[in-house]
Structure 1
Amino acid sequence: MKKFKRYTITSALPYANGPLHIGHIAGAYLPADTYVRFLRLRGEDVVFVCGSDEHGVAITIGAKKEGMTPRQFVDKYHAVMKKAFEDFGISFDIYSRTSNEVHYKTAQDFFTKIDQQKLFIEETSDQYFDEQEGIFLADRYIVGTCPNCGNPNAYGDQCEKCGTSLSPKQLIKPRSTVSGKEPVLRPTKHWYFPLDKFEGWLKEWLIEGHKDDWKTNVYGQCKSWIDQGLQPRSITRDLDWGIPVPLPDAKGKVLYVWFDAPIGYISATKELRPNDWEKYWKDPETRLIHFIGKDNIVFHCIIFPSMLKAAGDFILPDNVPANEFLNLEGEKLSTSRNHAVWLHEYLQDLPGRRDELRYVLNSISPETKDADFTWKDYQQKVNSELVAILGNFINRVMVLTWKYFDGKVPSEKELPGTTEKRKRILDLYNKAHEEMNRSVKSMVNALDNFRFREAQFEMMNLARTGNKFLADTEPWKLAKEDMEAVGSILNYVLTIVGNIGVACAPFLPDASASIIKQLNGLSLVDGWKLFWKKEELVPTVPENHQLNQPELLFRNVEDAELEKQLERLKKDKPKAVNPETTSTVKPLKPEIVYDDFGKLDIRVGTVLAAEKMEKSNKLLKLTVDTGLDKRTILSGIAQHFSPEEITGKQVTLIANLAPRKMMGIESQGMILMAEDADGKLKLLQPSDVVSPGSTVS
């Protein structure tokens, strides 16, 4: 891996129209914070920037609903989000906002720099206008009947029922979501960024340059977009809230929120480091990494890099480790139904449990596929892992040291193997040391490669191994006959405790601080860089060092606490549907024998690319890596999945189905799906990511 002088780390700018929930945290903010804490402990030069995204039609509409001005509206939610991030301990170097003066100037200068190169396209076209509200409508604020499936509430850019990409003019009986009235078409001039002109460069930089180091889901979605052909994108809007377009003939025009928002990373860095911000954005020896959710992949991997390239002297993102989505209790998070765990409510209801939420979200991080948060799983992970493994180990070691050595670190002498018990202790020590050094190396490697679930597991393995060593050596029994051996055992497990204090800092910063406090070890800070550099256990507590009194790191989550959270979710849940009145389960097909089933070669593959078939509303053309080859499969799922949604996903397929020609293309297999009661298709996927070609039996 290339060595960099410094790092610029960004998290997606959250939209300032509501509070934060755990889906936001798991997607873009906790992974970034974990990685940044790791970099800082390693001694890297890093800036971690974020801020509120405060422009766009959604802001003006939200403000109107709450009886506020747009400025009052964004002030309210900026304060709510900023406080929630601070209370949760997300360690931004700066949390800025796109309504700041420095951002206005930076975004306008960025626009001007590209405009001076004559890259923008000016075009007048008819767009929908809400006469009652006096505003042009963005695609998402126009709904109507889908021409493909008849859904009466399809959006102007996509029908969420069948997945078809749309334009507002394709909708039947369009209406404004703002007033409910039918909009009219009016001519308006806008400026377009010529994304199509960057297609060749993107193929070289992204498709060829990052096919081996970017996540499959990220790479696959980008490749699908580029393979379908890029088009110019409007970067201006008709609004009175936003950054004015800095041109004399652009009165009443503002920069489109998705043009100005990513520039917020640059303006926030300027605000933080006004004298040397350029080295974090223009020096090739700086590594730029964006942490985002999967819905922002195209903007951060295709559009913003093209903007940076057009501006001429900016570095490009070296990686964009986007996460999939987090579900809640088996359902999609829904802000409209209040089906969410709001961060500020969590911190109020469960004070002192920041680390517990960090741990659980890291353990289920949706790194390669959607994940599900449940309160029962939260309770189980806290009680049986944080309390019973990590907390128990630290507490046992501290209590034993106070019991036998008055809280002073005993001698670290090597024990000569003069007795069978001592020989066994030495053998156990060697095995434990080897296992823990392996865990440290694996943890660092996983952190370097944005695999935070794996990294946290390896960190916890230090406590698992330490617990086992303590249980196997039983110093409480040895105390009756060999205190020298007891001293050596406790010296070693105290070293493990110190190393855990260092290792858990990216994942459990509060626990790390408590461990260092108990060890009375401010000097441990000096050992952090050594630990991450050597990638193995390092000395942390000198002989005769006086420890502080033990304190519990974690406490069990009680059933009553769990019930309170589950009751909160039930308040706004829709009424359950009676399955007896809605069931459309199909009857069984005729019986087969095992030999019939055995003829099927069912395997897991990864979708590398997807595109819609021309002249077909049902078919998607998929390129699937089967582990044996890369083949084309036509699948009738276009009304259920968009190409972007399925690209990067693992699928189950029948690999030995005879090829079949459809619409002039040979399909070499069949994707297996499950159809629920309302006719919605669901992917059949392994519970964990497996290698393409893995067989199903």
Structure 2
Amino acid sequence: GNENAYGDQCERCGTSLSPTELINPRSMLSGSAPVLRETKHWFLPLDQYEPWLREWIIEGHKNDWKTNVYGQCKSWIDQGLHPRAVTRDLDWGVPVPLPDAQGKVLYVWFDAPIGYISATKEGFPDEWEKYWKDPETKLVHFIGKDNIVFHCIIFPVMLKAHGDYILPDNVPANEFLNLEGDKISTSRNWAVWLHEYLQDFPGQADVLRYVLCANAPETKDNDFTWKDFQARNNNELVATLGNFVNRAAVLTQKFFEGRVPERGELQPIDQEVFAQLAGFPNRVGELIENYRFREALAEVMNLARLGNKYLADTQPWHLIKTDAARTGTVLHVALQVAAALVPLLTPFLPESAQKLAAMLNFEPGDWPSAGRAEQLPAGHQLREPALLFAKIDDAVVDTQVQKLLDTKKANALAAAPVTASKENVSFDDFGKMDLRVGTIIAAEKVAKTKKLLKLTIDTGLDQRTIVSGIAESFIP
């Protein structure tokens, strides 16, 4: 059911295909139907490695590989593996280094994995083997779902066949991220271009990082929309994370001259915050180690929510009127939560974490230190508070949506069939035409006109003078 399936694999479902299985096949270059021809190829004997793959993947990785990766590999193996051609009849590519392989090149997905190793050797000529041969090395492949079979079956079989290379420990492949309901395509300009984003949203790289991670297609396809981008920024980064940090810093600046206040006797609500804080580094770290980055980021945001709720429950802006010492304890606790956010945010929002650290005048310790209750000692001087995130208005995202709508309109026009205005002529009639390329050797404005230029043209046989209405666009 996928009209855009390739001759070796369907990108939509991951099924392996033979070119002869395609319905109404056509060339992507010419649009014409391909012609079957007899040829000779070299094959990778995947069938001979099926028992080993079953043991290595189906039995060995059923509990630690992502369900979408494991499921696709299991489907391939259960259907029965067949030898796969690793050569092609093309006039471009890496030539097959065999004497009887004239005109043959390596199939790109046989050549590309070898390129991973050779690129490492090129960059680290004296150390490359520790990356690919050392049993202590942990090899992880971060890829998209359309490449699962190559990185989980074909490449590992190549490594196993050689015998001296380590195998991937994990292949945490993501599914597809669409854009406004349509597949991202650079050739159709249906994409969010990074350089354009950084121009349109200066200083907001972390917002895109946040949305892409929070919306990551880790186990199923997902969709990026500009309205969701705006909502996540305004409702989560600004209203939750930014609001908590700003409240804690501004109130400390206002009530205690920007110094971390003394911690008085802890009440149950304070003790509960510290008890929960202690568990965050381990939970977030474990999620990251298991490649569940979306959940890890959500857990970091839960820490910000904890801080927000704590301030909302204790209301230090009202408490200061009756109990300054208790207010100091509340802000002391809140600032410890803010300090814990610095290392936990760094893998996801590095620039914002750096800004927060600068605001707190704080150099974070190791990862476990984020769970400690006394990272900022009493009397520690904070720097001037600043907003971590800014609200994004409707007009800003409307501009981005309109840009995509303009792209969709341009694509539709480009794809529209063109009706010939006149019938084709024969080649003999075309040969009767005298077409020449001339060189403009002089140009000057025609007096008393705004649009006309007088041009002197050298045709190669003679020189001619013509008049052109381009004076408003070209200054001679």
- The TM-score range, normalised by the shorter chain, is 0.7 to 0.9
Q: Give the Cα separation in 1 of the matches to 2:368 and 2:70.
A: 35
Match of 2:347 among 490, 503, 506: 506
Q: Secondary structure at the match of 2:407?
A: coil
Contact 2:281 2:367 in 1 (8 A): no
Give yes or no for the alignment of 1:318 onto 2:175: no
Name the structure 1 match of 2:78. 227
Q: Give the Cα separation in 2 of the matches to 1:165 and 1:459.
A: 40
Contact 2:343 2:367 in 1 (8 A): no
Q: Give the Cα separation in 1 of the matches to 2:268 and 2:4.
A: 69
Match of 2:300 among 436, 446, 459: 459
Name the structure 1 match of 2:372. 537
Match of 1:447 among 268, 285, 288: 288
**Pairing 1:67-78 to 2, within 5 Å after superposition:** none
Name the structure 1 match of 2:245. 394
Q: TM-score, normalised by structure 2?
A: 0.79
Task: Give the deviation of 1:381 after TM superposition.
Answer: 0.9
Name the structure 2 match of 1:552. 387
Match of 2:101 among 222, 241, 250: 250
Q: Aligned residue pairs: how many?
A: 411
**Pairing 1:593-612 to 2, within 5 Å after superposition:** none
Task: Give the deviation of 1:319 after TM superposition.
Answer: 1.2
Q: Secondary structure at the match of 2:50?
A: helix
Name the structure 1 match of 2:194. 343
Q: Give the Cα separation in 2 of the matches to 1:365 and 1:400.
A: 35
Match of 1:360 among 187, 208, 211: 211
Report Cα offsets for 1:185-241 as digits up to 9, x if no partner.
544433211111111110111111111211221111111111111111122223343
Name the structure 2 match of 1:49. none
Cα RMSD for the two superposed structures: 2.9
Give yes or no for the alignment of 1:332 onto 2:167: no
Q: Give the Cα separation in 1 of the matches to 2:401 and 2:61.
A: 43
Report Cα offsets for 1:391-442 as digits up to 9, x if no partner.
1111111112222222222223x42xxxxxxxxx611101222233344433
Q: Secondary structure at the match of 2:267?
A: helix
Match of 1:495 among 318, 327, 336: 336
1:538/1:530 CA distance change after superposition, 3 Å: farther
Task: Give the deviation of 1:331 after TM superposition.
Answer: 3.4
Task: Give the deviation of 1:166 after TM superposition.
Answer: 5.2
Tell me the amino acid that sits aligned with residue 557 of structure 1. Answer: I
Contact 1:439 1:461 in 2 (8 A): no
Tell me the amino acid that sits aligned with residue 390 of structure 2. Answer: R
1:376/1:160 CA distance change after superposition, 3 Å: closer
Report Cα offsets for 1:644-688 as digits up to 9, x if no partner.
xxxxxxxxxxxxxxxxxxxxxxxxxxxxxxxxxxxxxxxxxxxxx
Tell me the amino acid that sits aligned with residue 66 of structure 2. Answer: K
Q: Is the strand fraction higher in 1 or 2?
A: 1
Contact 2:7 2:19 in 1 (8 A): yes
Name the structure 2 match of 1:262. 113
Q: Give the Cα separation in 1 of the matches to 2:126 and 2:3.
A: 54
Q: Which has the larger radius of gyration?
A: 2
Contact 1:192 1:235 in 2 (8 A): yes
Match of 1:214 among 43, 56, 65: 65
Q: Secondary structure at the match of 1:454?
A: helix
Name the structure 2 match of 1:294. 145
Report Cα offsets for 1:229-282 as digits up to 9, x if no partner.
111112222334333323333343332211121233323333443322222221
**Stretches of structure 2 lacking an aligned partner (at least 5 in a row):** 411-476
**Pairing 1:376-525 to 2, within 5 Å after superposition:** 376-412=227-263, 414-415=264-265, 426-522=267-363, 524=364
Tell me the amino acid that sits aligned with residue 530 of structure 1. Answer: P
Q: Secondary structure at the match of 1:300?
A: helix
Greater Cα shift, 171-180 or 192-201: 171-180
Task: Give the deviation of 1:357 after TM superposition.
Answer: 1.1
Greater Cα shift, 194-203 or 181-190: 181-190
Contact 2:90 2:105 in 1 (8 A): yes
Higher relative contact order (CA 8 A, sep 6+): 1
Greater Cα shift, 425-434 or 201-210: 425-434
Identity of aligned residues (%): 61
Task: Give the deviation of 1:315 after TM superposition.
Answer: 1.0
Task: Give the deviation of 1:383 after TM superposition.
Answer: 0.4
1:321/1:375 CA distance change after superposition, 3 Å: same
Contact 1:440 1:537 in 2 (8 A): no
Q: TM-score, normalised by structure 1?
A: 0.55
Contact 1:397 1:494 in 2 (8 A): yes
Task: Give the deviation of 1:162 after TM superposition.
Answer: 11
Q: Give the Cα separation in 2 of the matches to 1:264 and 1:542.
A: 52
Tell me the amino acid that sits aligned with residue 528 of structure 1. Answer: D
Tell me the amino acid that sits aligned with residue 573 of structure 1. Answer: K
Contact 2:44 2:84 in 1 (8 A): yes
Contact 1:440 1:458 in 2 (8 A): no
Q: Give the Cα separation in 2 of the matches to 1:444 and 1:565.
A: 35
Task: Give the deviation of 1:546 after TM superposition.
Answer: 2.2
Q: Secondary structure at the match of 2:74?
A: helix
Task: Give the deviation of 1:311 after TM superposition.
Answer: 1.5
Name the structure 2 match of 1:371. 222
Q: Give the Cα separation in 2 of the matches to 1:342 and 1:240.
A: 32
Contact 2:307 2:337 in 1 (8 A): yes
Match of 1:571 among 406, 420, 427: 406
Match of 1:562 among 397, 421, 435: 397
Report Cα offsets for 1:310-332 as digits up to 9, x if no partner.
12111111111111112222333
Q: Give the Cα separation in 2 of the matches to 1:411 and 1:539.
A: 11
Tell me the amino acid that sits aligned with residue 226 of structure 1. Answer: I
Q: Secondary structure at the match of 1:287?
A: coil
Task: Give the deviation of 1:304 after TM superposition.
Answer: 0.7
Report Cα offsets for 1:459-479 as digits up to 9, x if no partner.
011111111212222223333
1:545/1:185 CA distance change after superposition, 3 Å: same
Q: Secondary structure at the match of 1:358?
A: helix
1:555/1:314 CA distance change after superposition, 3 Å: same
Q: Give the Cα separation in 1 of the matches to 2:351 and 2:5.
A: 46
Task: Give the deviation of 1:520 after TM superposition.
Answer: 1.8
